A and B are shown apart, each in its own frame.
Chain A
Amino acid sequence: MSAPSDAPKLYEAQEPVFPRRVSGYFRTLKWWIMGITLGIYYLTPWIRWDRGPNLPDQAVLVDMANRRFFFFWIEIWPHEFYFVAGLLIMAGLGLFLFTSALGRVWCGYSCPQTVWTDLFILVERWIEGDRNARLRLWNAPWSAKKARLRVTKWTVWMLIAIATGGAWVFYFADAPTLLVQLFTGQAPFVAYGSVAVLTATTFIFGGFLREQVCIYMCPWPRIQAAMMDEDTLTVAYRDWRGEPRGKKHENTTGDCIDCMACVNVCPQGIDIRDGQQLECITCALCIDACDDIMAKIGKPRGLIDYCTLADEGRERAGEPPRPAWKHIVRPRTIVYTALWTLVGVGLLVALFIRTDLTMSVAPVRNPTFVTMSDGTIRNTYEVRLRNQTGAPRELHLSVTSPEVLRIELEGTPELSIEVPADSTYNQRVYLYARPGSPAAEAARTDARIWVEDPGSTTRAYSDTIFHGSGE
């Protein structure tokens, strides 16, 4: 098979994008969101939260080694992982809700790729100047000045990247201790490895790959198309108002003066006037840029604006668009909100009804029962007691059943055991039925094993089965 002579190239170099500085409503909003999200990310591990002497005092801590997740006053154990699952479901539904209402608002405002790229571009602008200066520098041959600017920029990027990778590991260990360990070479290898990988990804993704991540790596641009409909607010160009475009003195009738401001500020390097496209992350900077120009030439704002497909016909016919809230509030978003709220309320209820003392009982089934020398029938149970408080507790075990059963604990003549703070304790428990008693001769008898903390009124139970010698 021979390729036609005008076959396109197999590959081509990334075309650098030099977004121009812009100011306006959406840029201000984005600065705030950047400050808040980065602040949360970098500072959260340093918030302290006193939980008493037996528990860590870090407000947010994912303690892998001890299998605990701490979030302020909430402590999640592995068997409560459904909380995390629930939060992930809420995150998913939230993404559906925001995407169906506001398009790729996640991409444009709060995706880490966007936020860090924004930060890296800010640094770039401080050091190398705005769009035109950066373009000139890019095209200039290597010189001492270019090298100095580049090295300075890369150094600052690298410091941000290290801080980013570094902040991540603080979520998994006591932050002040780990910080000292990191600098003294005492930290575990996995900490250095995580910092190195995240530093590298932050540096490369934020500094060099930027829009390439959104266009070629991220699956979300592909998925989001299924979430949007004609009522979704997306960034769009009102071509019926702007076209035919042209310079002001060319006496064209459209409002667009083809000043390229919208293109020059775009971090994705696209022209929004070509219509909605996969590359657009709806960061809305082109809206700010265009509004600025419209004000200067004395035209109303909104040539580029958040629009919906549903309004296009109305607007072409000269009618005003419907207000945004009428697009946002519609059955689809109401259903998403309802589902989101349902899961959230479910999690809250689960959070408030859970107890700090739980148990699980696993009957030993090999064998199901043991006959003792006097004919007594014994069943064995592996009982897990979970003391989810920060203090050790003396726990008392007992049994209730329609028939007469006696309880004993392995290794102690007492019916109480001390369970250390914030821990799971495995205790083998025996239930006995006297020879010839109904429970001894029946095949199965219901039994309920209780655990209680005599110091408080907390108690819990677990239902199980007592196996007798009957068939």
Chain B
Amino acid sequence: MARKLDKTEEMPTTGHEWDGIREYDTPMPRWWILTFYGTIIFSVIYVILYPAIPLVNGATPGILGYSTRAEVAEEIAAFRDANAALDEQLVETELTAIADDADLNRYATAGGAAIFKTYCAQCHGAGAAGAVGYPNLLDDAWLWGGDIENIHQTISHGIRSDTDFDTRFSEMPAFGDNYLSDEEITAVAEYVYSLTNDDADATLAAAGAETFVNECSACHGENAEGNIDLGAPNLADAIWLYGGDRETLIETITYSRAGMMPPWVDRLTEAQIRQVSAYVHQLGGGE
């Protein structure tokens, strides 16, 4: 019987009283106190077996040698093993055929997204929208080509890398370096400006057009449509890497531009590079 509520017998109380309410002092159930002692024994065993007591540097290791860090490392290794077959398949598949295999494509783009945010987002932005001097990877303008093979080549070997012999390389002269006069540069800039703007000075642009044909069209093309073999940008479209206003154009022509991108072939595995390639290719601008 849990409690003897016999009106003739006074129940023991603790002696505490609040506004006439007194606190019973009934014994605890034995199972309760045994459970309580059980938890104390458990905690002692736990402290012996597992990391428990914080010290200045780290904590007591516990005799099982358990560590959450090691557990994470094991989990990562387990995932690597689990993905090994897919990685192999990814490396063996033609780059252009990756998108045809739905499962492989999902694996590649999901992994590529993670790698992109780790290694690429610093320059190209977490959303791949780029910044001044760092190309936007979402649009349909590609300096060095936007099909998956070109993207793969660019990621592998970088742009203007001084350590990778297979890097993509081209060099725009600095025309201000005693090569073109300030007036000529202003005129060329006005011509380039006129290609995409209606408010250009027609006379000045006409003068610049002649200089453009002589000095610039070799790389940028006669219609300023650019050349992906040379990484020469299209100057007649709506997209500007450094800016399309007159001042920026003059600065670009005077001092030249030479953006760099590191090669990744030594830092990422082939499977990882293919993952990023597939990811970048499907961002919306891939050709």
Which A residues are closer than 8 A to B by beta carbons?
A: 6-15, 17, 209, 211-212, 215-216, 268-271, 274-275, 277, 279, 364-367, 370-375, 378, 380, 410-411, 428, 430, 435
B125→A268 contact, CB < 8 A: no
Q: Known contacts being A14-B31, A279-B3, A430-B284, is A372 close to B129, with CB within 8 Å?
A: no
The reply on B65 being an interface residue by CB < 8 A is no
Contact residue among B1, B30, B129 (Cβ-Cβ distance under 8 Å from A370): B129
Give CA–CA (A209, B139) in the complex, Å.
70
> Chain B: which residue is nearest A367 at the CB level?
B129
Are the CB atoms of A15 and B239 closer together than 8 Å? no
Asked if B85 is an interface residue, CB under 8 A from chain A, the answer is no
Instruction: Verify B239–A269 contact, CB threshold 8 A.
Output: no
Bound complex: CA A408 to CA B85 (Å): 33
Residues from chain B with a CB closer than 8 A to the CB of A277 are 3, 5
- Interchain CB contact under 8 A, B2 and A268: yes
A467 to chain B, nearest CB (A): 13
Taking A366-B127, A370-B138, A370-B284 as contacts, is the C-beta distance between A269 and B2 under 8 angstroms?
yes
> How far does the alpha carbon of A285 sit from the alpha carbon of B30 in the complex, in Å?
28
Q: How far is the CB of A5 from chain B (nearest CB, A)?
A: 12
Q: Which residues of B contact A268 (CB under 8 A)?
A: 2
Contact of A367 among B99, B138, B285 (CB under 8 A): B138
Asked whether B33 lies within 8 Å of A10 as measured between CB atoms, the reply is: yes
Contact partner of A371 (CB less than 8 A), chosen from B1, B28, B30, B139, is B139
- For A372, list chain B residues within 8 Å (CB): 139-141, 238-239
Select one of A13, A274, A410 contacting B5, CB under 8 A. Answer: A274
Which 5 pairs of residues, A with B, have the shortest CB-CB distance? A366-B127, A373-B237, A367-B129, A375-B238, A12-B27
Q: Which of B103-145 contact A (CB under 8 A)?
A: 125-127, 129, 136, 138-141
**What would be 11 A-B contacts, judged by CB atoms less than 8 Å apart?**
A8-B26, A11-B29, A274-B7, A279-B2, A366-B127, A367-B129, A370-B285, A372-B141, A373-B140, A373-B238, A435-B238
Q: Is B27 touching A9 in the complex (CB atoms < 8 A)? A: yes
The interface residues of chain B lying within 8 Å CB-to-CB of A8 are: 12, 25-27
Say yes or no: A373 contacts B27, CB within 8 Å. no
Q: Is the beta-carbon distance between A370 and B5 smaller than 8 angstroms? A: no
- Interface flag for B167 (CB, 8 Å): no
Let me know if B30 and A14 touch, CB within 8 A. Answer: yes
Complex contacts, A364 vs chain B, CB 8 Å: 127
Give Cα A265 to B125, complex, Å.
Answer: 76
The docked-state distance in angstroms from the alpha carbon of A277 to that of B5 is 10
The reply to whether the CB of B211 lies closer than 8 angstroms to some CB of chain A is: no
Tell whether, in the assembled complex, residue A370 and residue B282 are in contact, meaning their CB atoms are under 8 Å apart: no
Q: Which residue of B lies closest to A12 (CB)?
A: B27
User: Which residue from chain A places its CB closest to the CB of B32 in the assembled complex?
Assistant: A216
Which B residues are in CB contact (< 8 Å) with A274?
Answer: 5, 7
The CA-CA distance from A364 to B31 in the complex, in Å, is: 59
CB of A373 within 8 A of CB of B234, answer yes
Chain A residues positioned under 8 Å from B2 (CB to CB): 15, 211, 215, 268-270, 279
Which listed residue (B33, B127, B138) contacts A11, Cβ 8 A? B33
Please give the distance in Å from A294's CB to the nearest CB on chain B.
Answer: 24
What A residues does B32 contact at CB under 8 A? Answer: 11, 216
The answer to whether B1 and A269 have CB atoms under 8 Å apart is yes
Closest partner residue, chain B, to A274 (CB atom): B5
- Which listed residue (A211, A215, A378, A410) contacts B282, Cβ 8 A? A410
Given the complex of chains A and B, what is the CA–CA distance between A412 and B26 in angstroms?
A: 76
CA–CA, A211 and B31, complex, Å: 13
Q: Tell me which residues from 1 to 43 in chain B have a Cβ below 8 Å from any Cβ of chain A.
A: 1-3, 5, 7, 12, 25-33
For A11, list chain B residues within 8 Å (CB): 27-30, 32-33
Chain A residues closer than 8 Å to B239, beta-carbon distance: 371-373
* A410→B102 CA distance, assembly (Å): 13
Select B129's contact among A14, A211, A366, beta carbons within 8 Å.
Answer: A366
Pick from A10, A271, A366, A430: contact of B27, CB under 8 Å: A10
Question: Which chain A residues border B30 with CB–CB below 8 Å?
Answer: 11-14
Chain B residues near A13 (CB-CB < 8 A): 30
List, in ascending order, chain B residues with CB within 8 A of A428's CB: 282, 284
Contacts of B1 in A (CB 8 A): 15, 17, 269-270
| Distance of A366 Cα from B29 Cα, bound (Å) | 62
Q: Given A270-B5, A367-B125, output 20 extra A-B contacts at Cβ < 8 Å.
A: A10-B33, A11-B32, A12-B29, A15-B2, A17-B1, A212-B29, A269-B1, A270-B1, A271-B5, A274-B7, A277-B5, A366-B127, A370-B138, A371-B139, A372-B141, A373-B239, A375-B237, A375-B238, A410-B284, A435-B238
Residues of B within 8 A of A411 (CB): 99, 282
- Among B30, B129, B136, B284, max chain A CB count under 10 A is at B284
CB distance from B102 to the nearest CB of A (A): 9
Shortest distance between the CB of A213 and any CB in chain B (Å): 11
Report which residue of B2, B26, B30 has the largest number of chain A beta carbons within 10 angstroms of its beta carbon: B2
Hey, which chain A residues are within 8 Å of B284, CB to CB?
370, 378, 380, 410, 428, 430
Contact of B127 among A209, A367, A375 (CB under 8 A): A367
The distance from the CB of A13 to the nearest CB of chain B, in whole angstroms, is 5
Query: Are B238 and A212 closer than 8 Å at their CB atoms?
Result: no
Return B250 CB to nearest CB of chain A, in Å.
Answer: 23
